[in-house]
Structure 1
Amino acid sequence: MELPDPVPARLVDPSSVSAEDAGAYRLLAADIASGVGVVAARHRRRDHAATVTGFLDVSWDPPTVLVSLFEEGRICEAVEESGAWALSLLRREHEGTANWLASPGNPVEGLLDRVPFRRAPHSGAPVLAGSLAWFELRTTAVHTAATHRLVVGEVVALGRGVPEGDAADPLVHFGRGYHGLRP
């Protein structure tokens, strides 16, 4: 049985999005729960890192991951130009790090001075200590989508930053804030 919409649908013209349309989208998109990770790359002898909530497991054969990066961000340039990067999946206890690496205007020098990490085995990209899981990736494709780049990478190394039993409280982004799964 088809029911009427409790709230009238809002029609959006993608070729001419108004500020009101964009605001409505942002409000509703905040209801998409997602994991929180950090993408990091070693580029021009510098470490680059940024918090991300737009990533997904694409395939297990071969193991492939996709991440969405703002095209004007330093991390996007570092990932595209280096061709190799790491994705660390964060635990609830990483909220401070997630906030720090999501802040606009972070310094280029010393970005990870207060963030414990180790190096990925192939590229030397930073992998956050204590992460639920981490993946080192080699870029295989980059696609432009609106203001972002969708970077696809094949996994060349992977691991866990904590014992499996300690991996039950991921950091989750929902409703414009960070949450855990444990009460």
Structure 2
Amino acid sequence: MEIEPVDSHPSETQVERYRRLAAEHASGVGVVCSRYRGKDHAITVTAFADVSYDPPTMLVCLYDMGRMCEAVAASGSWTLSLLSAGQRSVANWLASPGNPVDGLLDSVPFHRTERSGTPVLDGCLSWFELDTVSTHTAATHLVVVGRVTAMGRGEGTAATSRPLVHYAREYKSIG
């Protein structure tokens, strides 16, 4: 077994090694959306999890320096759309740094939730509307825990649709 200690202030080499090793974990791909100051904000995420079934609770990790972090923290309400294999271009677009806020979702089909009016991506496998219950700083990210207030299957998808996954720093599909 190979063991490599990691410094409390890791070198660039250690950071890159960590990224390579962590990329060996396959994860789902989702999009977090929030409505803040009259504008829609959205970003692709791969670090999210269901936390509890009673009450339904999820978490997402957001880069702490990004505008999405401010939008989610300030609005208190957000959605998570779990992407299907056919939504790779959407994942790429919303993962691009420096995207404009104005017109961000102009080329992405979506509808709004009834309660908060937050975007939900059409064609996603499933979606969840959440209210933030707590936030926690963890290194360069903000861990946002939310209570599910609404949920559903994406427009035009079936229970047999394939998910988009992130593995080895690439988007892939299963099957």
Q: Please give the secondary structure, in 1, of the residue aligned with 2:90.
A: helix
Contact between 2:124 and 2:157, CA under 8 Å: does it hold in 1? no
Q: Does 1:126 align with 2:140?
A: no
After the TM superposition, list the runs of 4 or more consecutive aligned residues in structure 1 that deviate by more than 2 angstroms.
Answer: 162-167
Contact between 1:41 and 1:79, CA under 8 Å: does it hold in 2? yes
C-alpha spacing 1:178/1:163, structure 2 compared with 1 (3 Å): closer
How far the C-alpha of 1:122 sits from its partner, in A, is 1.4
How far the C-alpha of 1:9 sits from its partner, in A, is 1.3
Q: Does 1:170 align with 2:163?
A: yes
RMSD between superposed Cα atoms in Å: 0.9
Match of 2:26 in 1: 33
Q: Does 1:11 align with 2:16?
A: no
Provide TM-score, normalisation by structure 2: 0.97
Match of 1:85 in 2: 78
Query: Which protein shows a greater Rg?
Result: 1
Q: Does 1:42 align with 2:35?
A: yes
Supply the AA of the counterpart residue of 2:115. Answer: H
Supply the AA of the counterpart residue of 2:159. Answer: G
The total of aligned residue pairs comes to: 174
How far the C-alpha of 1:138 sits from its partner, in A, is 0.2
Match of 1:100 in 2: 93
Provide TM-score, normalisation by structure 1: 0.93
How far the C-alpha of 1:23 sits from its partner, in A, is 0.8
* Residue of structure 2 aligned with 1:137, choices 127, 130, 133: 130
Q: Please give the secondary structure, in 2, of the residue aligned with 1:104.
A: coil
Deviations 1:131-160 (A, max 9, x none): 100000000000000000000000000000
Distance 2:69 2:15 in 1: 23
